[in-house]
Every structure is written in structure tokens, then in C-alpha cells.
Amino acid sequence: MSSDDIRLYVTIDKRLFRDALLYQLLLEDTVDLVGESATGVDTLNQLPTAAPNVLIIEEALTDNDGLTISEVALSQQPALRILLLVDKPVSPARLAIYLDAGIKAVIAKSQPVQELIQALGYIRQGQVYVDAASYTTASENPDHALHAFKSLSAREQEVARLMADRVAVKAIAERLGVSYKTVHSYKDRIFVKMGFERVPDLMLFMKRFRNRIDL
Amino acid sequence: MPSEPAAPVILRYEHTSDLDAFQSVFAGAFDIIPCRTDEEARHRIDHAPQAPAALVMIQPSLRNLGKSELLAQASNAGCFRILISDQLALDDIVHLLDERVIDRCYERPWDEKRLRTDLFTATMGVGIRDRSEPAAHEAPAADHTESRPLVLIVDDETAATKYLSKQLLRMQERFGVRCAASADEALNILRNEGDRIAVLMTDQRMPGMKGDQLISELRQSYPYITRILTSAYGELDVALGAVNEGRIFGYEKKPWNAANLRPVLEDAIAQHFRLKAQAASRQVQTSSSFQSSRERRRTRLMEALADPAPQALATAEVIDRFLSTLETIHTLNPGKAHLRALELPELDQALIRGLRVEVTSLTSPENGTREFHGHEIPAAIPEALATLLTASGLTTRSLEITESDQALTIASGPDQPLRMYSHLLSPLTGVSNPLLEQQGALLALFIWADRLGGHLNIHGGQHSFGLTLSLPSRKSARSLEDHNA
């Protein structure tokens, strides 16, 4: 862990949602979890000892308003970077209030998890992140990844399939009769073309693609 | 307002390829007005049906940008000004940003997400908030009555800082010097002497936290300390991030020269006092405009909720007692976000409507009664208490219940006050369900205390309050049976 790593605190009411998000975030080796809560009041009680540098908090908590809790947290720890999770995309007028209150990033629950991870990357450096596209227009075309997959070479598609089935790189190399290094360069190309950063992204895509789940 | 079309973005470009690249990324999200010349752009700023939100200049001639009439006009029109170029010299950028000639500067290729965030915040009118910080040349309002200000120098090359510090102290007596060998050490010094430190000058390259990270942290935690970045290397990308995000006052190349640095540091100290004075006067302004809106809201709440209003919830005396109680519970100081929320026309109405729903359901006699510690009390009272306890992270176990022949008294524990982070008369950023539930619960307790001939006393604190509710004793049937048995 180095100094610019994320010391994360997560405040999400529903346990299942919190766990699912944490499984994703802990795949990032720059993220360390220093605390979690289901309520705003518990968050304020824990913050001084947990000393996070990033707080992900739901707006619609059951005990107190998540935005008000964020304001109180910032008055106590002004350097804390807060990502607010909102139930649905918000109007620009509302978003302006969030940013004026010192919130660094706003993510709607209708957005893909990759966008939340991207936002974390920006706020980690103290930058503000709001994605106009997610608030003003319909979310990104879900066919994008599908087109990207179809444009992969036959070999790349095969490697993608094997990787999604969690076949080890060494085994893929043996099966295709190529070197270790070649498989890695296939992997890099696939990730760049598909816009993925991690194997789980690819696994989820392949499942959805094969089962023709319409997003 | 959300329903109006967003303000346009003026794009001043030199090459069609830049225009195409920009349009292909941003045309879907923003209304872009491309302009090939300064004259055209100036004309569009004046004649656009709606004031443009931002001016983006892609690689115009960088010469004389400080005197650019287009940039000056854009500034007057309230445009957020973004410069994109690849012929940037860091000294020039720091100067342009510091003098508020431009608001942001990026190298090519631009970071699409960053730029999108800037444009989007500009169309909402948030991006230009940095202008409230004064430019370096504005008239000083220095206040040197405090003890001698300090300059904090952060660099892991301790021999160099020690030498510079000695030289600076020998040269002058207007400021003191502190040295730190790392960002962590600097933050420690700030925790102890933060009030006296006027300027922080940090090297970029250090083990652990880097200079730009320290500056970014400082901007949040100690916004009035003037920030100077130094580096022996030309790390343009890092420094660009720092000047865009951290609003640094200057960029000094190493090796240092004490004679050259002294006037820079003295200017930086003057800047510190200017910023502090301006922030203080801004806080006074914000407080006074909040004060008047708070009085207006109080009057509206009285008019809408108290007799003789058509859907009154209680007598004027009870509502007035409730509101006066809220005034004793201290919450956050008002800020920009709260003033912005006040502009939303529906805020007060939403509060009144929401409160009416909560209180009506909690004060309806149809809820019946229930047994509570051997007493028959309206079921709404434990329900309202539960709401206040949940918001405080407490349970009914934390309540102290005492009973006598005359009264049942329910009080919050002395070491476990109830929490209230915002209320009807505090600065608000919106109307949330938890807010309405808490306010409704407290008002319902006032109403029940009044109806039953009891008392509700509240002692306000910081984000907290103590509660004592006494009700005339009314033993429950079961309790009487137990007693008889």
C-alpha cells in the first residue's frame, strides 16, 4: 500500500448490495477497506478511528439523509473524498447542490460498476467526477461491447472464451500451441478492444453474451 | 432549471481536425458553437440566446493570451475558460491560472472524462466557483495583527531546506520558517501550528506522499494557506494536475535562491491574508442571507401548520414552542450548497407537505393506545420515540423511564443524547424522508404532550439534544391487575 492508495469506508444500507460492491472494489489492489456501516449515524461515530480518505455513501439511508451525513463528515474531515450513490440520475440543479456541498463524485445506481471504479480513480487524486452522459442522456449503448467482441480476430475470440472459463494462461498456451507471452499479448489486446480492465469484466460479458441477455 | 436547455459551449479552434475530434466526443451531450476566429467567438458570446457556459480554446496562438479580448469578454460573461494546447510551458500556465486568465488548462490528447466533467459542471454554474478566490493582483486587505506568520518548506533534502531556512531568517523578520522532510511530517506540523502557517512550499518528488497530493489535501483542509510547488524536474503532467486542481500560487524551479524566493514568499503571505479576509466576509454574507431565509421559513411554517390555518396541526403556541426548540439545536453553518438549495422554489412547500403527512398519521387518535412500562399511552408516542432513537443509533434501552403516582417520565440518557444533524430551521440541501420523519416525530411528541396535559423539554446541543417527556400517570389495565393480585 502506498500513500495514494484508497483507504475506503463504505456506507450502504442493504448488506447484499454492500457485499456485492465490495467484492468488486477489493479486486483493485489500490483499495483497502477500513470500515463499513449500514447507517449514517454509525458512519459518523466510526470515521475518526477508521480515518478513511474516501467514503462511498448512499444518499437514501434509512436513519439520516446521506447527503447531510456527508456534510457533517466533511466539516470534521475536510480532506475526505466522498462519492455519493443516488437511486436514480439527478437533475443538473440537484447535482450542483451536491458539488457545492463538497461531494466529489455522484454515481447513480443505474450505472455499471465500471463507472464507479473509474470515478474512484479520479476522486482519489482529489478531482471532481460527474459524467454528463449518465445524467443527461440514456446510458451507454449496451451493444458497444458486443460489437467490440465481434471485431476481435477468431484467435482473440477463442482466447477470450477460454479466459472467461477460467482456463489458466499456461493451459491456454498449451492448447493453442503458442507461447506464454503470445497469450498475454492476446489478453492485452482483448482488454483494450473491449474496454475491460479485469478478468471478471470479461467473464460477466461472456455469460451475458452467450445467454443473449438483453441489457 | 432542469427543464431549460443547457447553456452552450463555445469552441474556438484552429484546425478542422480538432473541431471534428471535439464534436465526435461531445456533440451528443453539449450544445457546441464552433468558432474559427476570436471575432466570431466574441460575437457569439454577445449574441447567443443563452449565455454560454464555457469557452474551450484548442491550441490558439499562445502569445498574448493574457491580453486576449476574447478571454476577457468570456470572463465577464461568466464563461468557464478551458485552454487545450501542447505547447505549454509550466511557468506560463501557472501565471495564466493564477491571474485568472483561464480556469483550466490541459495538454493534448485531452482526458475525455475530465473535460466532460468540467463542461458539465460549467453548464450547471458550479465550475466557476473558483473565481471567488481573488486573483493575486487584487487589492490587498492584509491583516498582520496576528503573531508572525510562518512559511512551511517541505522537501526530503533536509540539508537544502535547512540552508534555505537559515538564509531566509537572516534576511528578514516578517515571517518565520518551519521545515518538514516529508508530507506526513508537514501534516503533523499543520495539526499543531496550522493557524500560524500562511504559506506551504513543497517539493514534488518525495518518498511517500507526493507534493501535488499534499497540495490537494491542503486545499481541502487548510484552504487559506497559499500553496507553492517546487521541482527540479520538468514534470508537466503532474504539475498541471496540481495547478488545475490545487490552485497553486506559484511554481518554483529548483535549485532555490533565497534572494529570489523572499519576494515570492512575501507575496504569498499577503495572498494568504487576503483569502482569509475574503472568506470571513463571505461567511458573514452567507450567514446573513441564510438568517433572513430562516426567518421567512419560520413564518411560513407558522402560517401553514398552526391554527387558524385550514389544515392546522396544532395551536400556534405548540408550533411556536416546537420551532423555538429547534433553534436551540445547533447544526452546520450555512454554505454555498444551502444557498443554492434555497433557490429551489419548492423546498418550503415540500417541507410543509411532508411534515403534514408525517404528523397527521402520528397524531391520529385512530392509532389507539399501547402499554408502555405499565402505562397506557397513545401508540404513536413510542413510535415517534423509536424514529428519534433510530436516527441517533440508539434503542429504547438507552431511555431512562421513571414513574411516580402522578407522572410517567421518559428521558434520554445523560451520556447518550439524541442526534439531529439537520432540522426545519437549519441550512438544508433538500428534503429527505429521514428529515421529515424526525421532524414529524418531534412535533408529534409536542402535540401529544400538550393534548395529554404533560410536558416535553428539549435541551439543544451541537448536532444533538436531550429529551424529557412527562405524561400524567395512567396505569394500564394489566398493570392494575398485577397490582391487585
Q: Nearest CB to B28: which of A64, A69, A137? A: A137
The residues in B 51-90 lying below 8 A from A, measured between CB atoms, are none
| Same fold across A6-136 and A143-210 | no
Model pLDDT, residue B3: 43
Model pLDDT, residue B483: 61
Contact flag B391-A41 (C-beta cutoff 8 Å): yes
Contact flag B114-A122 (C-beta cutoff 8 Å): yes
User: Is the confidence at residue B36, as pLDDT, over 50?
Assistant: yes
| CB-based contacts of A84-87 (< 8 A; 24+ apart in sequence) | A84/A57, A84/A58, A84/A59, A85/A12, A85/A56, A85/A57, A85/A58, A85/A59, A85/A109, A86/A59, A86/A60, A87/A59, A87/A60
The residues in B 327-366 lying below 8 A from A, measured between CB atoms, are 332, 335-337, 340-341, 344
Residues of chain A contacting residue B129, judged by C-beta atoms under 8 Å apart: 100
| Same fold across B9-132 and B150-279 | yes
Give me the phi and psi of B471, to 5 degrees please.
-125, 145
What is the dotted CATH code of the domain comprising B9-132? 3.40.50.2300
Contact flag A63-B390 (C-beta cutoff 8 Å): yes
Give me the phi and psi of B428, to 5 degrees please.
-120, 150
Terminal CA-to-CA distance of chain B, rounded, Å?
69
Enumerate the β-bridge partners of residue A83.
A56, A105
What is the dotted CATH code of the domain comprising A6-136? 3.40.50.2300
Classify strands A6-11 and A54-58 as parallel, antiparallel or unpaired: parallel
Q: pLDDT tens across B297-335, in order?
A: 999 999 999 988 888 899 999 999 999 999 999 999 998
A6 confidence band (pLDDT: 50, 70, 90): very high
Model pLDDT, residue A1: 43
Pick the CATH number of A143-210 from 3.50.50.60, 3.40.50.80, 1.10.10.10, 3.40.50.300: 1.10.10.10
Measure in Å the smallest separation between the Cα of B317 and chain A Cα atoms: 28
**Interval B116-141 mean pLDDT:** 59
Q: pLDDT tens across A78-136, in order?
A: 889 999 999 988 888 888 899 999 999 999 998 888 889 989 988 887 788 887 666 54
Contact flag A78-B124 (C-beta cutoff 8 Å): no
Q: Name the fold adopted by B306-482.
A: Heat Shock Protein 90 (3.30.565)
A58 confidence band (pLDDT: 50, 70, 90): very high
Q: Nearest CB to A93: which of B29, B119, B344? A: B344
Measure in Å the smallest separation between the Cα of B56 and chain A Cα atoms: 17
Query: What is the domain partition of chain A in residue ranges?
Result: 6-136, 143-210
In angstroms, the CA B473 to CA B408 distance is 5
Residues of chain B contacting residue A65, judged by C-beta atoms under 8 Å apart: 421-422, 430, 432, 434-435
Give me the phi and psi of B168, to 5 degrees please.
-65, -40
Contact flag A92-B434 (C-beta cutoff 8 Å): no
Contact flag A67-B430 (C-beta cutoff 8 Å): yes
Distance of CA A36 to the CA centre of its chain: 17
User: Is the confidence at residue A42, as pLDDT, over 80?
Assistant: yes
The residues in B 211-230 lying below 8 A from A, measured between CB atoms, are 213, 216-217, 219-221
Residues of chain A contacting residue B120, judged by C-beta atoms under 8 Å apart: 92, 130-132, 135-136
Q: Nearest CB to A92: which of B124, B210, B344? A: B124
Q: Does B111 touch chain A (CB under 8 A)?
A: no
How many residues does the structure list for chain A? Answer: 215
Whether a cis peptide bond, with omega within 30° of 0, leads into A92 is: no
Q: Percent of chain B scored above 70 by pLDDT?
A: 89
Contact flag B113-A45 (C-beta cutoff 8 Å): no
In the CATH scheme, what architecture does the domain B150-279 have?
Answer: 3-Layer(aba) Sandwich (3.40)
Q: Does B125 touch chain A (CB under 8 A)?
A: yes
Q: Nearest CB to B119: which of A64, A75, A132? A: A132
Q: Nearest CB to A64: which of B119, B336, B434? A: B434
CB A99 within 8 A of CB B448: no
**Interval B56-80 mean pLDDT:** 84
Model pLDDT, residue A139: 44
Count of A–B CB contacts within 8 Å?
145
Mutate to test the interface with B, among A57, A72, A127, A139 (most CBs of B within 10 A): A127
Residues of chain B contacting residue A64, judged by C-beta atoms under 8 Å apart: 391, 419, 421, 434
Contact flag A100-B117 (C-beta cutoff 8 Å): no
User: Is the confidence at residue B138, as pLDDT, over 60?
Assistant: no
User: Is the confidence at residue A167, as pLDDT, over 70?
Assistant: yes
User: Is the confidence at residue B33, as pLDDT, over 50?
Assistant: yes
Contact flag B430-A71 (C-beta cutoff 8 Å): no
**Interval B339-363 mean pLDDT:** 90
In angstroms, the CA B124 to CA A100 distance is 11
Give me the phi and psi of A98, to 5 degrees please.
-55, -50
Query: What is the domain partition of chain B in residue ranges?
Result: 9-132, 150-279, 306-482
